[in-house]
Structures are given as structure tokens and as C-alpha cells.
Amino acid sequence: MSYLRWLAAFAAVVVALVVQVSLFPHLAWHGIVPNLCLLVVVAAALTVEAPFALVLGFAAGLTLDLAPPADHIAGRWALALTVAAFLAARMRQDVKPTALAVVGTVAAASFVATSLFALTGVLLDDPTMSIAGLLEVVLVALVWDVLLTPFVLPPLMRLFTRLNPQWAAQ
């Protein structure tokens, strides 16, 4: 069951990444696309136990860092998504989260992850970008992520819940 869950999570990340770089640029607003990998990580953090979500956040971030067109310094998305997974896991309640709670968690995770990525960029002086540009990117990315939440999160959360060994027993 555990293997199956890792496999499902990995497949979800791969599909999310490919759709994010190949399909969404056609719909992008000023080049800003929804961060589907983040949505996968948040879905995992809201349904399965925290260590799994944290490692998945790190793995998804690392994939975002290394898969082609990416050319920034590797490890930046890994850092951002690990923190996002941690926050989402902290927000999680023992009861099934309400729709509003899910949307709120996605919004918070998106804000934190994109800002952290931008901040590491500023610290490392990777590409220089104006603060106004950064703010625009963070806010538009947040809107994108929240917009896609109703379509992406419910099926993913159902998938992770079904593959969760503890909860399946209940």
C-alpha cells in the first residue's frame, strides 16, 4: 500500500509538472502559470501524514528545479515546497477539511512558496527582478492556484485518502 502511495504521488507530480510547462504556457498571464506541483503537495499534506507530505514537497520541488526548461539554481523550489508542505500539514485538522479551509491552505501555501522562491532569488542574486515584478508574480500565481483548486484538489485528496493505510482501515 505504501509503495502504491509513493507511486501515485510520484505520478501526480510528473503529470503536474508536464502539464505546467507544456499546456499552461498557452493560457499563461504574462508568463505566470499555476503551480500544479504545489497543489499536489498541498493535497498530500491535507490528507496523509506529515512526513510523507514533507518528503513529497522536497521531491516535487527538486523535480521542478531540475526538469528542463528550468535553469535557476537548484534547490530553491525544493526549499520553498518543503516549507509549504510543512505549513499545510500544520494547518490540517483531524476532521475532513472544509472547502474553505482547503482554499485557504492553498492560498497560504502558494503565497509562502512563491515568495520564498523569490526571496532566495534575491538573496542569491540569481536573476535581478524588481520588487513590483515580484509582487505581481506572487499575487497572480496565488490567484491561479486558488482558481485551479476546485478542479485539482478534490480528486487528488480522494486518491491520497484511499491509498492511506491508516485511514483506509477505519
Partner 1 sequence: MGTLGGHDGRERRWTGLDRLESRNRPPRSLLVALLLASITLITLDVSGGGSSPLEPARRVIGEAFGPAESAAAAAVRPFTAVPAWFRSKDDLADEVRDLEASNAELRGQVELAGFDRNRLEQYDGLTTAAADLGSALVPARVVALGSRQSQSFTVTIDAGSAAGLGPDMTVVNNEGLVGRVLRVTRGTATVLLITDPDSTVGGRVGSSMEIGFVTGSGSLDQDAGLDLRLVDDASIPARDDTVVTWGSATGPYAPGVPVGTITEVYTSLREASQRAVVKPFVDFSALDVVGVMVPSGSESDRAVVEADGSLR
- If one asks whether residue 63 binds partner 1 (CB under 8 A), the answer comes out as yes
Dihedral pair phi/psi, residue 56, rounded to 5°: -65, -40
C-alpha cell read off for 62: 527538486
Distance CA 59, CA 61 (A): 5
48-62 b/e (C-beta count within 10 Å ≥ 16 → b): beeebbbebbbbbbb
- If one asks whether residue 55 binds partner 1 (CB under 8 A), the answer comes out as yes
Question: Binding partner 1 by CB under 8 A: which of 8, 14, 103, 139?
Answer: 14
- If one asks whether residue 90 binds partner 1 (CB under 8 A), the answer comes out as yes
Q: What is the dihedral of CA 72, 5, 14, 159, to 10 degrees?
A: -120
- If one asks whether residue 82 binds partner 1 (CB under 8 A), the answer comes out as yes
Distance CA 60, CA 65 (A): 9
- Cα 47–93–43 angle (5° rounding)? 25
- If one asks whether residue 100 binds partner 1 (CB under 8 A), the answer comes out as no
Binding segment toward partner 1, per CB under 8 A, in 5-13, 60-68, 98-106, 150-158: 60-68
The nearest distance, CB 135 to partner 1, in angstroms, is 12
- Interface residues toward partner 1, by CB under 8 A: 14, 17-26, 28, 30-33, 35, 49-51, 53-55, 57-58, 61-79, 82-83, 85-86, 89-90, 92-94, 114, 117-118, 120-121, 124, 126-129, 133, 137, 141
